[in-house]
Each structure stands twice: as C-alpha cells, then as structure tokens.
Structure 1
C-alpha cells in the first residue's frame, strides 16, 4: 500500500475514533439536528442505529436522544412562559390604568379564551414534541428548505420552531476531517496562528489609522513589499 495513503488512512481513523468511535461521546446536538429535519425525525436515527447495533442498544440510544430532545423543549417552553407572563402583566397594567370596569370583564374573557386555547392545544396531554414525532415524515423534494418549513409551521409548533431556529443555525466545521486528507501539513504553526487579544487590537487600530491617513497608502497593493519585508525579517 502507498505510504501516503497509509498515513491518510491512519489519520482518518484517529479522527473517526475521536468523534464517532464511542457512541457515548457523540455530540447530541448533531443527532437532535437530524431529528429536527422533517424528512427524517427520530425514525431515521433509529433506523441507522438498527443497522449497526443490537435491538437493546438501539432502544437505549433512541431513549437517550428522546430524553435530551424533551429537556431542550422544556427549557424553551419555560422561557416562553416567562416572556408570555411578562407581556400579559404589562398589558394588564396598561389596561387597568386606562379603563376600569369594562377592562376587567375583557381581561377575564381574554384569560378564559387563552385557557381554552391551551387546553385545546394540549388535548390528550401531548406536547409539541409528541405531535411532531408522531406525524409522517416529509417526502423528498429537491426544492425543500428546512428553515422555511419551520417558519411556515411556527404557528403550529411555537416552541419547537424556536428550538429548530437555534440548533439548525449552528455552523458545522469540516476542518478537522479535511485535515486528514492534507499531505502538506499545517501552513501556520501554533505560535503564528494564535494572536493575543492585545495584538489583535493593535492590528485593527493600525489598519484603521492607515486607511484614515491623508497619504495615499494602499495596503492591498503593497502586499508584495510586505511579503518581501517579512521574508527578510524571518531570515534574520
């Protein structure tokens, strides 16, 4: 076997073992993001697990994901309840100051209506998570946009749509996996690629001063001179 490919394979195996070798160390947010995709939901994760692990392990892992999903939903629900209570308190205060008798009747009627809506939405003791996971998965569509889907269904899943908005917006980095295919190694060492906050501040200030200078200084056009100067300094 070619020595270069052999080295790449070993590096790839190390990266795989680091992130996926132990199922207990897998980042749960990656799995929650899959569950939040209406094409897959929890059914897809369970199916993939069943292709690798035994049924008992599949049940345990699926249960762990569902518990994590429920905990996230509960936290967001608490935050929304606090916001709703604050908004209602402000509304009640404003109404009390403006109108007396009639406002009390309106508030009472509004409270009863809100309670009726909550009972109707929570009919059968099902949360948004239960309703979402019980529904059928969406069919494949090349023009499907997951964030747009959650936006359209935000009135149906008020809390869960907030969860999807935050989790699906997390960027996924591929630098660690792609570095396994590099044969040139790192271009910058750890000393040159790490800047202290003080040095970063100095560089930003210097750039602002140069651009604000009355003299025609063009940093982009003088890159060749700057590189030559760096080479001269590094050879000293």
Structure 2
C-alpha cells in the first residue's frame, strides 16, 4: 500500500487522463480546474496521452495554498469519476495521489492558529507563576550561559541574535513543512499583546532602566511559544530552552560572541 506523500508549497502537478466515459462531461470537469483549456486541446491531449494541464500549488500565503489544495482536490475527484485513468505527477516524476493532496491539507490545517487561550495559555501560565528575579544577578556554574550582575543596556546584539534565531526557525519550517513566514505572522499578531502585557508586569520589579525594547524577553517568549507549537517538525527548539531560565529566576538579556557561537547572557 502506497504511503501518503505530503506536498510542499511549491509543488507543481501535471495531470494526465485517459479514456473519458464522456468527452463532454470529462472536459467540463477539466475546464473547472483549468478554465483556459479548449475542447480541441482536451481531445488532442487525451488522444496523445500528454499532460492536460499543470496545477501550481505555490502560494506565499498559507491560507491561499490550503484553499487551492481543497478546491483542486474536489475538482480532481470530479474528473476522476469521468475518466478511466487519472494520473498526477509532480515535477520530479513521482506519482501523486488524491490522498496525498488530502493528507497535505490535513497536515497544514492542523497547524493553523486556533484558540490562542487554550493553545498557549497553560505554557504562559508557567511564566506568569515564575519569579523571574529570584536569582537575578547571581553567578552560575552552567557552561552554556554567562551570568551578569546587570542586564546590558541598549543591547542591540540581543536583538540580532533573536532575529537570527527566528530566521533559522522559519528556515526549518520551510524545509520541513513548506511553511512561509506569513503563517507565523498570524500567531504573532494574536500573541504579542498577551506576551507584552506579561513581560511588562514581570519587569515592574526590575530596577528602572534595566530593560527596554531591545533587551526585554518578549521576543524570546514569543519564539518559545511558537517553537512549542511546531516542535514535532523542528530539529531544535533553542528558544524553549533559553526561556526556561525565566522559570528558574534568571532573565536572558543578551549574547556574548558571534551567534551561533558564544554564550547566552542571563541576569
């Protein structure tokens, strides 16, 4: 039995069909998928056993990608009912089944932003309950970090490290699941007010002037939230590991060295 294959978001599928039960009905179905297909071309390609048309599944926006798969799958099923043999082939010459399209749809739909409160609430509650300053400024024997007595002020390096981490994270998603950054933006838009409020409440107890937009941990928490969401298809979850320092009473606030070499600074 053939295992289902998940399509990438840049997939191009060639559609072949033979022996229509009815030329008129089969052509009508094919034209639903490819409106520019003429009856003459349809007959010629059926007789010549050449590709009827291509379906390009590439989309910058994941929502449009999913809509295209769902619509194409429905229409291909209609065409399948009207021909004796329907063959779908990807750009690498591999056979693609309608089941593959449906599996791709199910997979990506399972990662769409849903109810943020139920999805991320329990994880954020861990940070809400933690005392971020319990061990602030204390030394550490952990070889992976460097403790600082005060957070670096105007620490642009920390911003660059978080951006580099985010870019690496996006690259992993694109490689593993064909995800585009637009998909992540929906999570950011829904979560940022929540995370910002949490961070501001926690940092009220820190000395004035220690943190600003460049070195507060909001971005790190955001990345750790989304890393957890996609953990099953990522090769690493660095932000989750770093964010755990908040739970242990230290605040990640900077970076020493040229990322990815170097060490995390925690206060």
| TM-score, normalised by the number of residues in structure 2 | 0.24
* Max Rg structure: 1
**Which structure is richer in relative contact order (CA contacts within 8 A, separation 6 or more)?**
1
Greater fraction of residues in helix = 1
| TM-score, normalised by the number of residues in structure 1 | 0.26
Greater fraction of residues in strand = 2
